[in-house]
Amino acid sequence: MLYDVQCQSKSNIKQLYSDVFSNYQKSIVPNSDFSSPLNITVSLYLITITRFQEVDQTLDLAAGLSASWIDKDLSWNPSSYGNAEDIVVPLTDVWTPKFVLVNSVATYEPLGGDNANSATLDNTGEVSIFVGDVLSSKCTTNIYKFPFDSQTCYLRFYVSKMPLKTVTLNPASNPVQLAFFTPNSDWSLQSYKGETSIWNGFSLFTFTLTIQRSPLYYTVLVCAPTILFGLLNPMVFLLPVESGERIGLSITILLSYAIFLSMVQTAIPATSNPMSLLLIIMIVTISLSGIILASTIYISLIYHRDPKTKMNFFWRFIGTRNNTLTGVQPFTKNCKEENMKSLTETSPSWKEVCERFDNIVMVISYFILFIINCGYFIAVLR
């Protein structure tokens, strides 16, 4: 089967370029009717998420904007130029909108800067451009659930010096494209959308994305040692008081946890609006460690008290496990004789008080740690 194929030559393209741009003014907005704004269709190509800085509250990513509009001055009849339906020209040869990132923290220059980009012209007058750049935008962080947190950021674009009456931005049928997207090892893309709105008399294109942190590294580095220190601390009450190692072990654990807390300060984002729940848990744990140290010292003081020291009701109640009941019944032949009972109560020693108090404080400590850890994981994983 044979086809009659017509293709344009180099001379056709030269003639097309000469005819199209002979009376073209690139400094004039290509509105067919200046009573209405120029409609520009935009879509965003997300390339990669470079990094997210919690302390500076900034999001760095590589992205590009694709835009198209109709310019009737750049239309032609394909049959007059070897059936050339489109051509590619330098971006500096045609009028182009200068897109600016509104919430940028680096620069307010137009996207693409001085890069040598090109524009595609269609015979119908449609002009298509693509401008890409590495963007750094402001993103308010919420690290309450760190390291199981997710962040929602907004990138807002508008055409510089072009108010709503001159230019209107419209989202494409698919306003966000991931064809060239490369995932980030620390942050995964959860959701995204692109939409247009009006802002201070300008047409605005807003790209919204939600990213989820990969928590494994911080779980192993921060969460696991925090729980381990908490579980290790109450075990000092299992050591005999006579060993003399209780206070030393309590101080060692407290100092170790304090050093660990200072080390992980660089890993936990430093912000107080809101404050990280994990940091609150660490502060509560180190406070509990200090209470355990104080309890250890006080128990050692009680243990070495003079046995003749009078014991009040509270310590007698703590030290007494079971009251000893001794039943006394005289031997008589008369079975109807009433039984006689006497109750004797043994008074505990200070050693027994300390042993019982050790168990009570240890159980209470583990109960508090269990509630704290369960409450943390319920709060961050729900």
| Amino acid (1-letter code) at residue 111 | L
Residue 7 is predicted with a pLDDT of: 62
Q: Is 326 exposed, middle or buried (0-12, 13-18, 19+ CB in 10 A)?
A: exposed
Q: Which residues of 265-303 are buried (b: 16+ CB within 10 A; e: fewer)?
A: eeebbebeeebbbbbebbeebbebbeebbebbeebeebb
Q: Which residues of the chain have pLDDT under 70?
A: 1-8, 32, 114-116, 270-272, 321-347
Q: What are phi and psi of 31, to 5 degrees?
A: -85, 130
Collapsing DSSP to helix, strand or coil, 11 comes out as helix
69-127 pLDDT, tens digit each: 999 889 999 988 888 889 999 888 999 999 999 999 977 888 877 666 889 999 999 99
Residue 6 is predicted with a pLDDT of: 53
Tell me the C-alpha distance between 374 and 13, whole Å.
72
37-59 pLDDT, tens digit each: 999 999 999 999 999 988 788 99
Residue 2 is predicted with a pLDDT of: 38
**Domains of the chain listed by start with CATH number:** 35-213 (2.70.170.10), 216-321+342-381 (1.20.58.390)
Tell me the C-alpha distance between 138 and 288, whole Å.
38
**pTM of this structure:** 0.79
Tell me the C-alpha distance between 39 and 217, whole Å.
47
Residue 181 is predicted with a pLDDT of: 95
